[in-house]
Chains A and B, each alone.
Chain A
Amino acid sequence: MKKLSVVFLIVLMATSVVFAQGAAETKVQASGPMKIGVIYVSPPGDMGYSYMHDQGTKAAEAYFGDKIEVIRMEGVPEDDRAAVAMEQLVDAGCKMVFANSYNYQEYMLQVAKENPDVYFEHCSGYLKNDNMSNYFGRMYQMRYLSGIIAGKMTANGKIGYVGAYNTPEVVRGINAFALGVRSVNPTAEVRVVWTNTWFDPSLERQGAVALLDSGCDIIAQHQDTTQPALAAIERGKYAVGYNADFRAIIGDDKVLVSPMWNWHNYMIPTIQSALDGTWKSQEYWGGLEDDMIKLSEISPLVPADVKQLVSKKLDEMAKGTFDVFWGELKDNTGAVKQKAGEKMADGDMLTMDWFVEGVVGKVK
């Protein structure tokens, strides 16, 4: 009896591991299409970060047709299992591997060094190798535009922002958003709470609820679920989404706008260069000029003159006559961080660890 139970437990544990792993869809084929592996940190059905990446992958599949064959691995944890997943993809014959989350980068670099004839593409990191690029988009440009809308739509000048981690990426997004808010509403403030998680529905909601309780009438977010936005809408307040079009997902016009990604505009050219044999390792940070980022359709609740202002600023950024982090910029203690007339260097943006004027809260 005891032995039987032990056997049963082993089976149970073994199967639970199978269920816990992201399923790899592997198709075995001889030669022909170039095989491309894609690794997502969450299932694309998260309607957030990985979902938008998968939209890019699907666009690439549609564009290249039978010239490429994609193998997806979903929900791969950001630990040594990521390296195993990458090696599996290489073993399955992939000539190119994409991975979409920051903490994959160390593992990708290690696998890239072991497989010099495979192209590696890492999203959102900074490591590179002769056969490994990193790429990301200037999302802050869209954050700024969504800030303009929030600044115009707030009734009491208090806007909440639920932030994940105090990484430069998130801080940059908050600053850009606040600059957008203050460009149209110079006395408004942006209040920040940190959840210290990319993804936790309960904590994300609690952060938003605390902001709403403190009087904020719009909630913006850098989180992976729709909970902060939902918390705002349930109280009859406005929300600004992120990653995907929250207004479509939630089905409520009180979601004013969502900054979104256009990953296919990176994936398609880079896959093309791999097919052509012209692929080169690069550090890519694309913005409006490459159409890497976009705004969702703006809610009908936003007045037409605000929409016009947004498209005007969008044009200026596309033409290069204006950008978000051009001086003069002060931090929220009043110290000048960027002198008037100067443009902030990419390096400073990528290491940003201070809040602009108008943001209530501390980075650390």
Chain B
Amino acid sequence: MDFITKLLAATIAMGTSLTYATLGEIYTEKTGILNLGMEGTMLMGALTAFATAYNTGSLFLGLAGAIVIGAIFSAIHAFLSITMRANQVVSGLSITMFGTGLANFLGQRLGPQTNNFNLVGMNLQSKFNNIAIPGLHKIPVIGAFFDVSLLTYALYLIIPFAWFYMYKTKYGLAIRSVGEAPRTASAMGLNVARIRYLYTIIGGMFAGLGGACLSLSFTPSWNDNMTGGKGWIVIALVIFATWNPGKAVLGTLVFGGITSLQFSLQAAGFRMVIPSQFLGFSPYLITFLTLSILTIANQKRKSLFSAPSALGTSFAIDEK
């Protein structure tokens, strides 16, 4: 029991960052915009959060910085893919490459003079520590959910809200309409471009937050490429969650859980049952499976679990 509780705690700690970014990408994709710039945006978020918190001493300013930079980076993507109607894949990949390079570049320039202006190796005065809720955190297994950082507690509110907003409000209906049938939505009087801009930028803010979770809480530090491909896993997790914000956390628990489990087994002296290379590609393997299952399910009948029909396509009122 204790083993499972600890395993779950390790999974939640690591998965917080992934969950934020996954929620963000779900909202973006639901409007029909595919943002492959998550990796770069998350890394820029991690860098900005750490640099701000390090230089000002305020964790919350760090968070704010990450949100702002996430908004800026996704606004670039929104401009390219909505206003310019550029290829969303190319634009997203550019954001990732640009963001990754820029973050590593700035990481060597925003630190203190005593460390050659390098942020690597610097420590924060504080970080988002785990806060245990008295009584609750002692419960076996479930207790793991009640000894987490503020950033994780926030998710307990954000996830249900994100689900409610998407499926039970007129705003959510607008998002889904724009993502499913932009022409119809436009005819109904919705401003497709504005909605897409809004949620692409919000999605970027969440990606920035996801990065901040790493540099301010989970691995409080700045390191080049510290996101280590999490932005790509997010793209897979969105599909695994079938674009449902309520399920965003599922993939995080499954994939984070597999990683934590293999470390726990190793620490207990077992042979490494799952090669790490397998873990590396397993999110994508499960993406294949999910996509196949979704396709089969959709052939039977129009499923609720399918990708937004207009995902990745540009839209203009004056275009037939």
Which residues of A are at the interface with B, using a C-beta cutoff of 8 A? 1-2, 4-6, 8-9, 12-13, 15-21, 42-47, 51, 75, 160, 191-197, 199-203, 205-207, 209-211, 213-214, 216, 225-227, 230, 244, 249-251, 360-362
Tell me if A209 and B263 are in contact (CB < 8 A).
yes
Q: Which residues of A contact B228 (CB under 8 A)?
A: 197, 200-203
Q: B173 in the interface, Cβ–Cβ < 8 Å?
A: no
Bound together, the chains give a CA A307 to CA B115 distance in angstroms of 30
What's the minimum C-beta distance from A355 to chain B, rounded to whole angstroms?
11
Q: Quick one: closest B residue to A244, CB to CB?
A: B121
Most buried by A among B108, B220, B263: B263
Which residues of B are at the interface with A, using a C-beta cutoff of 8 A? 3, 6-7, 10, 13-14, 80, 84-86, 90-91, 94, 97-98, 100-102, 104-105, 107-108, 111, 115-116, 118-121, 123, 214, 218-221, 223-224, 226, 228, 230, 259-260, 263-264, 266-269, 271-272, 276-277
Subset of 30 A-B contacts with CB under 8 Å = A2-B86, A5-B80, A5-B85, A8-B80, A12-B98, A13-B98, A16-B102, A19-B98, A20-B97, A43-B118, A45-B108, A45-B116, A45-B120, A46-B121, A192-B266, A197-B276, A201-B214, A201-B223, A201-B228, A202-B14, A202-B226, A202-B228, A202-B230, A206-B10, A206-B14, A213-B3, A213-B6, A230-B220, A230-B221, A362-B272
Tell me if B104 and A191 are in contact (CB < 8 A).
no
Q: Quick one: closest A residue to B106, CB to CB?
A: A19
Contact for B263 among A2, A8, A207, CB less than 8 A: A207
Q: Quick one: closest A residue to B215, CB to CB?
A: A201
Q: Quick one: closest B residue to A362, CB to CB?
A: B271
Bound together, the chains give a CA A212 to CA B98 distance in angstroms of 37
Bound together, the chains give a CA A158 to CA B267 distance in angstroms of 11
**Given A12-B94, A193-B266, A250-B123 in contact, is the A45-B86 Cβ separation under 8 Å?**
no
Tell me if B84 and A205 are in contact (CB < 8 A).
no
Q: Which residues of A contact B14 (CB under 8 A)?
A: 202, 206
Q: Which residues of A contact B80 (CB under 8 A)?
A: 5, 8-9
Q: Quick one: closest B residue to A13, CB to CB?
A: B94
Bound together, the chains give a CA A319 to CA B108 distance in angstroms of 43
Contact for A213 among B94, B214, B218, B264, CB less than 8 A: B264
Q: Which residues of B contact A211 (CB under 8 A)?
A: 267
Q: Quick one: closest A residue to B229, CB to CB?
A: A200
Q: Which residues of B contact A51 (CB under 8 A)?
A: 121
Q: Quick one: closest B residue to A20, CB to CB?
A: B101
Q: Is the interface of B mostly helix, strand, loop or mixed?
A: helix
Tell me if A45 and B118 are in contact (CB < 8 A).
yes
Q: Is the interface of A mostly helix, strand, loop or mixed?
A: helix
Bound together, the chains give a CA A211 to CA B264 distance in angstroms of 7
Bound together, the chains give a CA A21 to CA B102 distance in angstroms of 10
Q: Which residues of B contact A193 (CB under 8 A)?
A: 263, 266-267
Tell me if B84 and A8 are in contact (CB < 8 A).
yes
Contact for A210 among B118, B226, B263, CB less than 8 A: B263
Q: Quick one: closest A residue to B223, CB to CB?
A: A201
**Given A16-B98, A201-B219, A206-B14 in contact, is the A5-B86 Cβ separation under 8 Å?**
yes
What's the minimum C-beta distance from B216 to chain A, rounded to whole angstroms?
13
Tell me if A42 and B224 are in contact (CB < 8 A).
yes
What's the minimum C-beta distance from B124 to chain A, rounded to whole angstroms?
11
Tell me if B97 and A17 are in contact (CB < 8 A).
yes
Q: Which residues of B contact A4 (CB under 8 A)?
A: 84
Tell me if B120 and A213 are in contact (CB < 8 A).
no
Tell me if B121 and A226 are in contact (CB < 8 A).
yes
Contact for B260 among A12, A20, A47, A210, CB less than 8 A: A210
